[in-house]
Structure formats: C-alpha cells, structure tokens
Chain A
Amino acid sequence: MPKFVFLATDIVLYLLLVATALDAWHALRTPTLRQTWRVVARDASAMSAAVILGVFLLFALLDSFHFRPLLPTAAGATANTQPAYSTQTLSVLDALLAGPRQAREKTYSVPLATHQYSKESMQVDGKIVREFPRLQFGGAHLKDAAAEWLSDVAARSAIGFVGGALGAAMLWLLVAALRARSTGTGTLQSLRAIWRRTTDVPWRAMLLTASALALFIGWVAALWPVYHVFGTDQTGNDVLFQAIKSVRTAMVIGSLATLATLPFAIVLGILAGYHKGRVDDAIQYLYTVLSSIPSVLLIAAFVLMIQVFMDKNPQLFETGVERADIRLFLLAAILGITGWAGLARLLRAETLKLTELDYVQAARAFGVSDASIMRRHILPNVMHVVLIVAVLDFSGLVLYEAVLSYVGVGVDPATNSFGTMINSSRTELSRDPVVWWNLLAAFAFMVVLVLSLQLFASAVREAFDPRARAFRPHRVHPATGAAPHSGMPAA
C-alpha cells in the first residue's frame, strides 16, 4: 500500500466539491433555483464551455489525489521492518501519465521531434563532430528517423483521429439513446432531434465540442507514448505534461481564492448593510483601506512576509511538494484576504436595499433576532450576487496568477503553472531558432480554460441577473432576416 498524502489544497478541493454537490442537490429541489439553472442549461455556448471545463476539472481532480509510493523492500528486510516510502509525492495523474513524466530528454526539442534542438559534440567513426543527437525517448522506436518519421507520424495521427472519431460517435449514440429512453422515442429519432437543435438542452453544441475534444485526445493518445507532442522544455521535461499539470494550479487558485473571499465579504458586507451607522462606517473604512493599496503591492507584501516565515521554519514541510503546496494554498488565501472588498461593497448595497423591504420589516416586527433575519432572510436573497461575482472572478484569478508569477510573488517555482511556463518562454522567444512550443502550449491551454470560464460565467450572470440578458448580442435569424428581439434595425 502506498502512503496517502493529503495536501492542504487537496482537502479544500474535496470539501469544495462536496459543497458544490450539496448545493446542486439543494438547487435541484428548489423550484426557483432549478428554473434559473435551466436558463443556463439552455445556453449553447455555456454548455459547450461546461463540457470543456468538465474535462479540465477531471484533470485537476486526478491531480489532487496524492500518495507516496512504497519502495521495494531491501534485501535484508524482515517482515516487521518499517516499510519505506519514496520521498517523492505523486498524484494519480502522475501515475497515469508516468510515461511522458519520466521520458526526460536533455534539453529542448521541437514538438514531435526525433532529434534534439541544439547540437552536441559526438563521436562518429572515431571523429568528434557537432551533430543534433537523437532524443532518448522521442521517436526512439524509429530506426532511420529521417526516412520513417513522416509516415510514422501520419499513420499514428490517422489511428488517433479514427479512434477519437469512434469515441465521439459512441458519445453521440449514447446521448441519443439515453435521451430516447427518457422521452420514449427511438434512438434515431432522438439523434435527428439533437442534430436539428429541437432539444431543450443544446445537445448538438455540447456533442460537437465533445467530439472536437475526443479527436484531440485521440490524436494525443496515439502520439504521446512515443513522441513529445508539444516538445520538451529547457530541462527536457515534456511540455504537454506540464501544461496539464498547470490546469490544477489554475483551478486551485481560482476556486480557493474565490472561496477565501466569501467569509469576509458575506459577513462584513451583510453586517454593514444591515446595521448601518457605526458598524457600517467601520467596515467601510476597513475595505476602503484595503482597496486603496494597489493589489499587486498588497499581495507582494503578504507573499514576502510568508516567504520570510517559510525560510525560518523549513522543518514544517516534509517533502518539496508539500512545501510548494502550502505556498499555493497561502497564495490563494492571500488573494482572498486582499480581494474581498469589491464583493463586500456589492453585498452591502444589496442588503441596504433588502432591509427596507416589507418582509424584513415584518420579521423585525415579529421580534426575530437580527442574526436570524440576516441568516434566513437576507443571506439567501443576496446569494445570487455572490454566485455571479464568484464565477466572474474565477477567470480573472487564473489570468492574475500568471502576472503574479511573473512579478515573482506567485506560486513556488517548483509548481507547474501557466505563469511559470510563460515566464520561461520569455527568454526562449529570443533564441534562434525560436523555441515557440512552450508559449504555444501555455497559450492554448490558458485561452481555452479562460474562454470557457468566461462563457460559462456570462451565462450564469444572465440567468441570475435578468438585467444582463438585454445586452447579449443577437445574430440575425437566417430564415426571417430579422433580429429575434425587437429593436431598431441599424441605419
């Protein structure tokens, strides 16, 4: 049995997941909430984004179960010696992707390369020559790399795409069959309905997104075992593996930092709006002080202080991963502590409005205590603001992490993150020939992640804040040539 390790961020992520599940269950049982979420579920772009986010979330979760593998027992060991565990903390994802993780080259190599990026002195026929050495792992199965490379890559890509397409087709059929069972129609009929977009949930958009993902995953799965699909970085590590590992960092920063803002923002925001007067003044003063400090500087100040603390107490952390994880955890906490002012201000304004409403006045007249009024009557009615701000801020935090890492107050340098990837690619772009794949991988993963987050967030906002719905752009309906909503045609 390996020794399971529960890192701080892991535990919070599990708790967050449980809380989300409970919340979803609650939303399902509450008719109004169910209705509102159904608006989100009808939005094609949001649901496509949700498909992608689901895949990212899966990666992040797989990367959140950590353990230290058991080392093989030494030769002279008896049955009752203590088992020895590796000093390396691995995650399930690390174990699943052990191939690419361990396939470490010497230095840079171009995506799908068989030879190293830079020349090295080698001995050929007793003479020293400067040559591009073959990679240790990338394309190692080819005998004559120059001649076989193209056909091998093409063949494997074809296999990968076919596999991906098969997987996608299965998915279409599965969804159609499941839909058919619940609606009581035939599978073929259901498939036609999906394709013609007559379904309530935008299955076609979701399935098209899933199909694109399946094709990509199939392609990667076919090539990754024998090539570095996105090349290798300066120390020879697989770039695609690092990009996938970065997803968890981004997700942790986004979710934990949002979570950390909530207690401050909710408690202080509602207290200020409900009690008014002195309490309001004090809380307003507090958040004006916090928001008047430029956020990068405030975060930098906190992070520098933490660095001093961690340098002073190195004995607290057993392995390097634990140390890096604590730093990630604290960074998220700092982002929360420094970032609650905006939400608190919104909640204060909303509470100010709510306290004047009849039902709150009635509760007061009945002698309900202040605490219960805030908990039972105010809190549930400001939750939509919390939700909207939380989903909108998530993507911003992912982007912010990259900037903070660049400034030098981000995650531990040992943690894979988009920020550290972008940082290293800064010098790579000035090399000749250009090392572009590190930046490309970070760019592609980050844009897809942030874009999905934003599409999903804007749908959630539109569902929970009806005012926002008026500002969504409408495409001209192809059949009628008119916009679906009233409004003056453009001149």
Chain B
Amino acid sequence: MVNYVIRRVGYGVLILIGVNLFTFVLFFTVNTPDDMARMNIGGKRVSQDAIEKWKVERGYNKPLLWNSSAAGTGKLTQTIFYDRSVQLFALDFGPSDSGRDIGYELRERVGPSLALAIPTFLLGLFVVIVFSLLLVFFRNTYLEFWGFTLAVFMMSISALFYILIGQFLFSKVLKLVPISGFAGGADLFVFLALPIMIGIVSRLGGEALFYRTMFLEEIGRDYVRTARSKGLSETVVLFRHVLRNALLPILTSTVAVLPLLFLGALIMESFFGIPGLGSYTIDAINSQDFAIVRSMVFVGSALYIVGLILTDISYTIADPRIRLS
C-alpha cells in the first residue's frame, strides 16, 4: 500500500513536471516576453525602452533557459525558467505582472472560495441523491417521466441563465439577499445563500440523470431481487439496500473532485463578487496577467493529481477486493 502510494505520488510529480514544461513553452517561447510586454502596456507603437523597463521590473529580462553571463550554478538559476517554473515546485509563485505577491493572494482567497464551494458541494450531493432516488422510486410512472423531462430541460440551460435570473429574481425583485458581495461573520450566510442555491440548481439536472443511471444499474443486481423476494417493501429495498451499495461508487467518484474545491467556482464567484480564487483567475485572464494564469495552472493541476491519488486510495478502502499493484 505504502509502496503503491509512493509510486503514484512519483507519477503525479512527473505529470506536474510535464504541465510545467508545457506551460513554459506556451507562455515564453510561442510568444516572447517582448510580445507580452507590448500587449500589457498596450498599443502598437510602444517604444523599446518601455518594453525593456517592463521586463526588468518583472524579471523577464533574463535569458529563458541558459544564462551564459552568470557564474557557476547561476548559469541555470538566473533564468526565467528557474525563476518562474522551477520555483513553483517550492510553492514560490513570485509576484504577479501587476506586482503583488501571488502566494499571499492565494492564501487570502482560498477561504472565501471554500466557504462557497464546500456547502455547494455537500448540499448539492444530498439534493442530487434525493432527487435521483425519487426518480428511481417512482419509476415507470408519470412522475418519473416528468421528473426526467425536467432534468433534461434543466440540463439544457446554461449556468449563466440560472445566475442572471436568480440574481434578478431574489435580489432585485424580491430583495431577499444582496446582489453580490462578501463579508465575514453572520453576514456570510446572507451573501452565500443565493450562490449556493444557484450552484446546486444549475448542476442538478445533469448529475441527477447520471446518478439515476447508477441506481438503476444497482437495482438490476441479484441482492435486490433477494431482498424483494424476502418480502421487503420497495421503500426499504431502495433506501436501505440499494442506496448503501450505490453510495460507495458515488462517494469514491466524488473524492476526485474534493481537492478541486479549493480552486473555487469561476463564474459563480465573479458574478457574486466573492473574493475567492475563481474570481482571481477570471480577473487575471481579463487583465492578461500571465504570471497569475501560470500559477493557477500549476495549482489546478497539482490539486487534480491529488484528486487522482485520493481516488485510487479510496477505491481500495471502499472495496477490499481491489488490490493495488
């Protein structure tokens, strides 16, 4: 087990190195730092002096991979590659292109992101399971047909509509919650209630259909027939036997998503003005801050890999028949 985990972590580090090289190539060699400078300063007629100044301020004036003017190990370390890519592994993100420390921003913003993401995830999981179980419970009736139709319809609506219409309805017309913003303490609930609700509703359709298939697959198994033949009522069969067994694959599949919760919800945070990592990313993309985008790519893929490893481990814990090798 320990051996296996070590190997998986090693593979994860390899992947992370790949991601790192890939982003480096994409950001520094497809377009040179000069292009970035020109785009950031804006306008076509930017003087070379301004470009040089911009580059010096951000440390982009060093050579990409090999600094022949430096001495000793400096040949390798005084380069953009070392400063901006290798340092990421030490979780040193450096300054953003606008000059602020990215690591500090990440630490500040992870709290609000989690405050939104965790309740959305947990409540969402609960609602989806209940909804899909009800679909299965009422199968072959009109209720199922219309529930199914509703789910397909909800799936066809862009998340943006849910947000826009939700904000309009609950904040502007009914004036129940503020339109956007964020505050600590007791106000937290007031600000987060609507984004959490919309986050759940916008994913309900697609996920309910997915879980419904899972439950239906489970219902065809032998133990369900045995339970029924014992004379157990359908309610007991469904909520005690099927639910418990289907919960296992559901929980192991959600493990992969858990680390990604740290990244926050991109559009949700930006629409509701929550100062989390999602809105940070969007702001960075809009202001074309490549340093932040690079750091977020690194953090995002690191979290994804953690999710992969956790999934593998949770499989073995949940099902002893699977042996890791």
Contact = CB atoms under 8 A, between A and B. Distances in A.
Contacts of B148: 473
A422 interface: yes
A408 B289 CA distance: 13
Interface residues of A, number: 58
Nearest to B35: A308
A437 to B, nearest CB: 13
A29 interface: no
Interface stretch (A63-71, A285-293, A321-329, A368-376): A285-293
Contacts of A443: 157, 161
Nearest to B278: A296
A66 B18 CA distance: 43
A350 to B, nearest CB: 19
Interface stretch (B73-81, B83-91, B298-306, B311-319): B298-306
B35 A288 contact: no
Given A430-B172, A434-B168, A476-B140, A294 B304 contact: yes
B152 A454 contact: yes
Interface string B10-34: 0000111011001100110011000
B299 to A, nearest CB: 9
A294 B299 CA distance: 9
B18 A285 contact: yes
Contacts of A293: 19, 22-23, 297, 300-301, 304
A53 B18 CA distance: 41
Interface stretch (B119-127, B191-199, B227-235): B227-235
Contacts of A304: 285, 288, 290, 293
B167 interface: yes
A399 interface: yes
A451 B154 CA distance: 9
Nearest to A399: B158
A301 interface: yes
A72 interface: no
Of the four ranges (under 10, 10 to 19, 20 to 34, 35 or more), the interface on chain B belongs to 35 or more
B201 to A, nearest CB: 15
B158 A403 contact: yes
B216 A471 contact: yes
B164 A294 contact: no
B22 A289 contact: yes
Nearest to B228: A488
Contacts of A285: 14-15, 18
B295 to A, nearest CB: 10
A407 interface: yes
A278 to B, nearest CB: 15
Contact of B160 (A403, A451, A485): A403
A79 interface: no
Nearest to A298: B297
A471 B213 contact: yes
B138 A490 contact: yes
Contacts of A434: 168, 172
A325 B293 CA distance: 26
Contact of B300 (A297, A305, A470, A491): A297
Interface in A462-491: 470-471, 473-476, 483, 485, 487-491
B233 A297 contact: no
Contact of A409 (B15, B233, B263, B285): B285
A56 interface: no
A118 interface: no
B310 interface: no
Most chain B CB within a 10 A radius of its CB, from A289, A429, A451: A289
Contacts of B157: 443, 446-447, 450
A491 B235 contact: yes
Given A473-B139, A490-B137, A446 B152 contact: no
A292 B305 contact: yes
Contact of A447 (B140, B156, B260, B304): B156
Contacts of B233: 491
Nearest to A423: B160
Interface string A268-306: 000000000000000001101101111011101110110
A292 B22 CA distance: 12
Interface string B251-285: 00000000010010011000000000000011001
B39 A308 contact: yes
A311 interface: yes
Interface string B204-242: 000000001100100010000000100001110000000
B297 to A, nearest CB: 5
Nearest to B260: A294
A305 B27 contact: yes
B179 to A, nearest CB: 8
A425 interface: yes
Interface of A: 285-286, 288-289, 291-294, 296-298, 300-302, 304-305, 307-309, 311-312, 395, 399, 402-403, 406-409, 418, 422, 425-426, 429-430, 434, 439, 443, 446-447, 450-451, 454-455, 458, 470-471, 473-476, 483, 485, 487-491
Interface of B: 14-16, 18-19, 22-23, 26-27, 30-31, 35-36, 38-39, 44, 135, 137-142, 144-145, 148, 152-153, 155-161, 164-165, 167-168, 172, 179, 212-213, 216, 220, 228, 233-235, 260, 263, 266-267, 281-282, 285-286, 288, 290, 293, 296-297, 300-301, 304-305, 308
8 contacts: A289-B15, A292-B300, A293-B301, A294-B301, A297-B296, A297-B297, A450-B157, A475-B145
Given A294-B301, A403-B158, 11 more contacts: A297-B300, A302-B26, A307-B288, A407-B286, A439-B161, A454-B156, A458-B152, A470-B216, A471-B212, A473-B144, A491-B234
